[in-house]
Amino acid sequence: SYQYNVPESLPVASVVARIKAADADVGPNAEMEYKIVDGDGLGVFKISVDKDTQEGIITIQKELDFEAKTSYTLRIEAANMHVDPRFLSLGPFSDMTTVKIIVEDVDEPPVFTSRLYSMVVSEAAKVGTIIGTVAAHDPDASNSPVRYSIDRNTDLERYFNIDANSGVITTAKSLDRETNAVHNITVLAMESQNPAQIGRGYVAITILDINDNAPEFAMEYETTVCENAQPGQVIQKISAIDKDDPPNGHQFYFSLTAEAANNHNFTLQDNKDNTATVLTRRNGFRRQEQSVFYLPIFIVDSGSPSLSSTNTLTIRVCDCDADGIAQTCNAEAYILPAGLSTGALIAILACVLTLLVLVLLIVTMRRRKKEPLIFDEERDIRENIVRYDDEGGGEEDTEAFDMAALRNLNIIRDTKTRRDVTPEIQFLSRPTFKSIPDNVIFREFIWERLKEADVDPCAPPYDSLQTYAFEGNGSVAESLSSLDSISSNSDQNYDYLSDWGPRFKRLADMYGTGPDCLYS
């Protein structure tokens, strides 16, 4: 005999056990089949054969419940599938065994008395109104108390509350059927001793309708009437809608408001089928007199209590063709010249505006005055910056200064004026320089030039950059020029130039001392 322990939470179709009968044969002669022939678990378990191993596999057919039954006993028979008739006398070719299955208790979550609860509540219910009750219990032998809560992922707006101990569901907010007609929420049941064990129940709450919405136009109507319309002509058919959902359907009643009932332009006819017709009362509508009419229409529903609303129908007077199709409905279009549309007028105005802008720009440019380079004495030049990009001619500028005076300071310097400006005041001749130290001569020369520039009222304030590279008279090293070497008492011998070839013959003639020398 065999005995197996199985937890009650084992899922259906799970394997409970494997058993195998021994057979000395091999191959097809060892193939066998198993079947449950007796016991109290006939409807709960079944057995099949593994073709490869010839084992009997016992599986679950129904859910196990420790609280309902703690053990099962099975009588299982194993028999050869292929029996040779010649050996029947050696039989029987089968055997029996007993299998006992013990169901183990498992801590299970609470179980609701119903998988789905259906409840109804009126949308007029006040906050705190009781909707219904759910119930769950602990299926274990301990029968722990159960606490209830609502899964807020299924009630995000928190329309409902539940009592944690009794499971009573109540309203927490005002309900609106037109916003949500059915609320599907999930209720959680937890064991008090083991909160990890959670059971789930599902509640569908249907909101009952009340007449809390007034009827209104089914759509935004664009109604027109032709200028040549005749009395009694139908210009619009209207209908209404209501967000409420009465059990017997909607029934609407249409009429003109009291202030519009006696108007001489339009009338309203209720068709008794939730529609109404707007008709003209006169002819000869003119856009230049009145281009738009507003017709207030009173709509009442059949609810209890009934609700009503006033909706305004806008009617435009239009110019129509022979078939009564509106062509132009704007009042200003009536007085425009023939052949000139509104778009053309807009284009003309845009062109005129562009031309005006161009003319204004040209006038502004012409009126702009240029500022003079030389400021008047009356102006405050501290608030103005004038830039002159004249840096002078440098060392090569021989027009502004007499370079000969820089080369020989012992000559008498005559008064000279600047050639780049026209002075109004001529300066007297300056004193000549005598043989005095070189640095004093150079300093006085620069100082006089500076005073000339400061007191000259005729020359603009040009920025002149002059470079003076005068080193004074005399030098310890004397002249470094090779051109003066021929007249000096130098001991240098240039006879080797004759050995350098024809290219250096000229130099050899000038500096050499041989018989062919130029100066010999």
Same domain, 233 and 174: no
Same domain, 140 and 192: yes
Q: Which amino acid is at 101?
A: I
Kindly state the tokens that stand for 505: 């013959």
Residue 54 lies in a domain: yes
Query: Higher pLDDT residue, 482 or 360?
Result: 360
Nearest-5° Cα angle at 453, 449 to 455: 115
Residue 407 lies in a domain: no
pTM of the prediction? 0.49
| Per-residue model confidence (pLDDT) at position 513 | 64
pLDDT bin (cut points 50, 70, 90) of residue 195 is: confident
Residue 480 lies in a domain: no
Same domain, 221 and 319: yes
pLDDT in tens, 38-86: 988 888 999 999 988 989 999 999 998 888 899 999 999 999 888 878 8
Q: How many domains does the chain have?
A: 3
Residue 342 lies in a domain: no
Same domain, 21 and 60: yes
Same domain, 267 and 306: yes
Q: Note down the domain range covering 38.
A: 2-104
Same domain, 316 and 268: yes
Residue 352 lies in a domain: no
Final residue in a domain of this structure, among 104, 135, 163: 104
Same domain, 100 and 116: no
Residue 75 β-bridge partners: 38, 98
Same domain, 15 and 30: yes
Residue 429 lies in a domain: no
Same domain, 125 and 193: yes
pLDDT in tens, 381-414: 455 566 666 666 555 555 555 555 555 444 444 4
Same domain, 247 and 266: yes
Burial (CB count <10 Å: 0-12, 13-18, 19+), residue 185: buried
Residue 358 lies in a domain: no
Q: Which residues contact 408 (CB under 8 A, 6 or more apart)?
A: none
Three-state DSSP class for residue 388:
coil
Query: Higher pLDDT residue, 81 or 350?
Result: 350
For residues 400 and 385, the answer to whether their CB atoms sit within 8 Å is: no
Final residue in a domain of this structure, among 186, 208, 230: 208
Q: Which residues contact 103 (CB under 8 A, 6 or more apart)?
A: 6, 7, 8, 64, 65, 66, 69, 70, 71, 72
Burial (CB count <10 Å: 0-12, 13-18, 19+), residue 199: buried
Alpha carbon distance 189, 183 (integer Å)? 19
Residue 127 lies in a domain: yes
* DSSP secondary structure code for residue 475 in this structure: -
Same domain, 244 and 288: yes
pLDDT in tens, 235-268: 999 999 998 888 778 899 999 999 988 889 999 9
Question: Is it the case that residue 362 has pLDDT exceeding 70?
Answer: yes
Q: What is the CATH number of the domain that holds 93?
A: 2.60.40.60
Final residue in a domain of this structure, among 104, 124, 147: 104
pLDDT bin (cut points 50, 70, 90) of residue 470 is: low
Same domain, 137 and 195: yes
In this structure, the strands spanning 2-7 and 223-226 are: unpaired
